[in-house]
Amino acid sequence: MTFDLLTLFPGMFAGPLTESILKRAAESGLITVRCHNIRDYATDKHHTADDAPYGGGTGMIMKVEPLAGCIEAVKVDRPRAKVILTTPRGRTFSHRMARDLAGEPGLIIICGRYEGVDERVSTLYVDHEISLGDFVLTGGELAAMVIVDAVSRFLPGVLGGAGAAQTDSYSDGLLEYPQFTRPPDFRGVTVPELLLSGNHAEIAKWRRGESLLKTARIRPDLLATASVTEKERKWLAENGRQEGAQ
């Protein structure tokens, strides 16, 4: 997959997207990340990419002309790529959204800045407006990095093992169960004996129960839409109350 990142600060991507798993994915040809400087498409000699908002107000607004020129130039090579705008007013990014976007032929991600982007950019070009959550960043570059990372994990071969992303937190609507590795005892805190037993059926049952309990404690809102049976809900109601009373 090709990710085209439209930004005023291309230098911000040099580290995060050129290390670890994403670096190996790029070297293997599984992903391509291209940065495009929006200022290169400005129409004046000062390469102006922002201006004061009509109607007054604080801050500056990203201009439509440079963004339009940049998007259209990228679309020449990527006509079927979906255009994403990172903005606090967008739909909240999620595990499911990352998985769905991984099925697209390519993504063009506009890194929002300042007080916002001229609305005509969304009207004419944007397919998805995406937010990382109910908070505001200084710019959309960090959000774009998160989107590239999360989407890339669903691309075949990026994580190495087949289906590796399918067992993460949120894959079935629940948070992931606790994980342990050597040593079995660290400063008096021991690994649950069951995990050392080799009984994979019982281990799977334990992990499922721990996922349910952890989700109920930390993100109970997820249980409304998670894949949970009626039997599990009854078990959780009983065991969740018992745990909370300890």
Residues taking part in catalysis: 88, 115, 153, 168
DSSP state, residue 88: E
SS3 139: strand
Q: Which helix (H) or strand (E) holds 106?
A: strand 106-111
The dihedral built from the CA positions of residue 99, 126, 39 and 29, taken in this order, carries a sign that is positive
Q: 215-230 b/e with 16+ CB inside 10 Å = b?
A: bbeeeeebbeebebee
Kindly state the tokens that stand for 55.
């109607």
Peptide bond into 53 cis (omega under 30): no
CA distance 42 to 191: 59
Cα distance between residue 7 and residue 110, in whole Å? 7
The CB density around residue 24, as the number of other CB atoms within 10 Å, is: 14
Using DSSP bridges, classify how beta strands 106-111 and 50-51 pair: parallel, antiparallel or unpaired.
unpaired
**Tokens 């995060």 appear where?**
16
